[in-house]
Amino acid sequence: MAIKTVKGRRVWDSRGNPTVEVDVILESGALGRTIAPAGASRGTREAIDLRDGGQALRGKGVERALANVNGPIAAALTGLEVADQAAADRAILGLDASPLKETIGGNAAVAASLAVLHAAAAEAGKPLWRHVADHYGREASLPLPEIQIFGGGAHAGRRVDIQDFMIMVPGAKDFDEVMEVTNAVYFAAGDIMAARGKLAGVADEGGWWPSFDSNEEALETLVTAIEKAGEKPGERLVISLDIAASEFGKDGEYHLALENRALDSSALIDMLGAWLDAYPIVSIEDPLGEDDPDGMAEFTRRFGDRVQIIGDDFLVTNAGLVERAAAAGACNAVLLKVNQAGTVSESIETFRAAQAAGWGCVVSARSGETEDVSISHLATGLGCGQLKVGSFQRSERMAKWNECLRIQDKLGAERFVRGKPLEASWWGKKRKG
Ligand code: PGA
Ligand code: ZN
């Protein structure tokens, strides 16, 4: 079925910033609609969102991006067969010779590309996850969530240096159990903060505001919350961190503002290694900066057989960077953010590169999100195993978890991956005995 109309409109994200929504309408009348998300701790090599600059809307206007959707992107997509995602993405890419999509805008590109995918699913009469599984020859499965309890870094005015303190519940039998356990831990953490007089609302992704005196206090509080929730850390649930080290480090020099401490690469590796020994951490994202490939390789050499090491800013959903990192022995998993790449097809290429390397893959939201639930479907349809959405509060986060529950109703609870994605970690080895 041919694409008839492509229409962009300005809508607003979870931080109150303008963003791009795209409708792709087919000759049959079928509709695909997506909203572009927006990051705050962005990698320097990811697709660049086109913003208007100037005084209005704090420079964050998207009129130029919308003009690109309604002009050149609409012209390039109109008449194309919607089921040919690769051709649609080639048409979008053909409009922009710049490596980071600053001409057409990453926000314009990602919303258009994903809207084509949605329209193809609608035309086929399938939910998006089923269309993704069929189109890319994958077996659908419900992902294991990473859920934030405390938010820090760029999502909390740099109140603490580390960005995400999260839990995973690999011992859960289904998605409902993950939600129940998370509810218990999330509110136990809130109660502890309240009792200490440190409850101060939530950060950008819904995690409790990190009113801590050190980064490690956040970890200790998380363990206390897990125990207060009646869980034994390291049994049914484990801890996951996003260090987002590029946010506080450059050229192998890291500065922990909260503790007023400067660390070189190897000191940071030692500090994180000590945390891996002291806490039930099973996954760690961007432990070193995006410009520190040697540090990342060294970290992976030392700890890669124990924990999942995810590249986010380090790999920016780029297949070539995944291949290069795999060859260098840096990381063993990739974070998949469609708007870092810019199109669905490039994201699939990155997923395949990760698969070829024998790596894990975590589909991820951005810190600026909306009611759009595409990523719940993408993670399920690709059967990639893991999904990172932020915390357990604020509807732009809960919408994604709730959509997984709806998908589970269709797919069956037995298609929840449980702890499988963490089999290679110490947790999986311990489970196997
Ligand atoms: P961002 O952060 O969306 O603000 O870039 C998310 C992450 O680092 O995982
Ligand atoms: Zn990250």
3-state secondary structure 386-422: EEEEECCCCHHHHHHHHHHHHHHHHHCHHHECCCHHH
- Out of 19, 41, 400, give the residue to mutate to test ligand 1, the one with the largest number of ligand atoms within 8 Å of its CB: 41
**Residue 206: partners with Cβ closer than 8 Å, 6 or more residues away:** 148, 151, 390, 391, 392, 393, 394, 397
What is the model's pLDDT at position 113? 99
Alpha-carbon distance of 289 to 283, in angstroms, equals 16
- Please answer whether residues 322 and 282 qualify as being in contact, where contact means their C-beta atoms are separated by less than 8 angstroms: no
Ligand 1, pocket residues at CB < 6 Å: 39-42, 154, 163, 242, 244, 312, 364, 366-367
Alpha-carbon distance of 289 to 311, in angstroms, equals 10
- The answer to whether residue 423 is catalytic is no
- The neighbour count for residue 166, using CB atoms within 10 Å, is 27
What is the model's pLDDT at position 251? 87
CA-wise closest residue to 105 among 38, 191, 185, 55: 38
Q: Say how many Å lie between the CA of residue 81 and the centre of ligand 1.
A: 33
Ligand closest to Cα of 43 equals 1
Which two structure tokens, joined as six digits, stand for 190? 């809130």
pLDDT in tens, the chain (433 residues): 999 999 999 999 999 999 999 999 999 999 999 999 999 999 999 999 999 999 999 999 999 999 999 999 999 999 999 999 999 999 999 999 998 999 999 999 999 999 999 999 999 999 999 999 999 999 999 999 999 999 999 999 999 999 999 999 999 999 999 999 999 999 999 999 999 999 999 999 999 999 999 999 999 999 999 999 999 999 999 999 999 999 999 888 999 999 999 999 999 999 999 999 999 999 999 999 999 999 999 999 999 999 999 999 999 999 999 999 999 999 999 999 999 999 999 999 999 999 999 999 999 999 999 999 999 999 999 999 999 999 999 999 999 999 999 999 999 999 999 999 999 999 999 998 7
CA-wise closest residue to 136 among 420, 386, 321, 378: 378
Q: Say how many Å lie between the CA of residue 428 and the centre of ligand 2.
A: 23
Rounded to the nearest 5°, which phi and psi values hold at 385?
A: 105, -30
Q: Say how many Å lie between the CA of residue 16 and the centre of ligand 2.
A: 21
**Residue 408: partners with Cβ closer than 8 Å, 6 or more residues away:** 142, 174, 175, 176, 415, 416
- The neighbour count for residue 94, using CB atoms within 10 Å, is 11
pTM: 0.98
